[in-house]
Amino acid sequence: MTNSLKKKLIVAWKGWGYAIFIAVLIATSFKSAIADWNIVPTGSMKPTILEGDRIFVNKLAYDFKIPYTTWHISAWDNPARGDVVVFYSPADNTRLVKRVIGLPGDEIAMRDNTLFINGEPLQYEAHDRTAVKKSPEPYCIVEDLAGRKHPVMISPFHYSMRSFGAVTVPQGYYFMMGDNRDNSADSRYFGFVERDRIVGQATFIVASLDHHDKYQPRWERFFKKLP
């Protein structure tokens, strides 16, 4: 191989290398700052989100961040009560998905799995148990959270913090809870979540694979909107 050919190959290789690097940078920047999907490994949001669901995360729902960071460049909205959001846990910095229960300034309390917001109890009604048919004990009820109805799971024989006294959410923070109320590590345990830790809003299920049945697709859950 002549020196001239070697130089051409090196130049070509560098060119392809730069192109691949730029393509990867663009793709990962898009996932970091604009939109992504999360694979949900646990049942803390059942029956709304099941293990094996792939949820779409809109990272532009509330603000725009510098890619690969949580630094906000611009903000145009804040999470609303009832939103399902992805955030970094204040306990160990892992990414979690939970529902926004308390906004800054809200007073939150719970008595025997009944939530109170600013002194007023939420309304609950019956729900079809078939949504959690693979769970042996739990049952579901529908919670009305500021006009946004969604199912929550109750597990009577599972140890959980079902009651706590009134706490006030500080400014710039939020109170998060999982829909699987008796099997969720949330603000009852790790406290309030700072606004800057919120990555984006989870809006629908992109795809779903059943962990209990050889990862078979759950077609009925594909592109299902989250309540």
Q: What is the pLDDT of residues 130-157, one digit of tens each?
A: 555 554 567 899 999 989 999 999 998 8
Asked whether the beta carbons of 116 and 97 are under 8 A apart, the reply is no
Range of lowest pLDDT (74-78, 192-196, 204-208, 213-217): 74-78
Q: What's the pLDDT score for residue 19?
A: 46
**Bridge partners, 204 (sequence order):** 56, 225
pLDDT reading at 32 higher than 50 = no
Catalytic option among 46, 98, 155, 187: 98
pLDDT reading at 175 higher than 90 = yes
Quick check: is 44 catalytic? yes
Quick check: is 160 catalytic? no
Cite the DSSP H helix spans in the chain. 3-33, 187-190
Asked whether the beta carbons of 166 and 154 are under 8 A apart, the reply is no
Alpha carbon separation from 4 to 8, 10, 11, 16, 37 (Å, rounded) = 6, 10, 11, 19, 47
Average pLDDT, stretch 23-28? 39
Return all residues near 179 (Cβ < 8 A) that are at least 6 apart.
Answer: 44, 45, 46, 47, 48, 49, 99, 150, 151, 152, 153
**What pTM, to 2 d.p., does this model score?**
0.81
Q: What's the pLDDT score for residue 3?
A: 59
How many residues can be counted in the chain?
227
pLDDT reading at 70 higher than 70 = no
Q: What is the pLDDT of residues 74-89, one digit of tens each?
A: 778 999 999 999 999 9
Tokens of 73: 């460049």
Catalytic option among 44, 184, 187, 208: 44
pLDDT reading at 33 higher than 90 = no
Q: What's the pLDDT score for residue 7?
A: 53
Tokens of 10: 């090196």
Is the model more confident about 118 or about 38? 118
The mean pLDDT of the chain is 83
Average pLDDT, stretch 159-184? 96
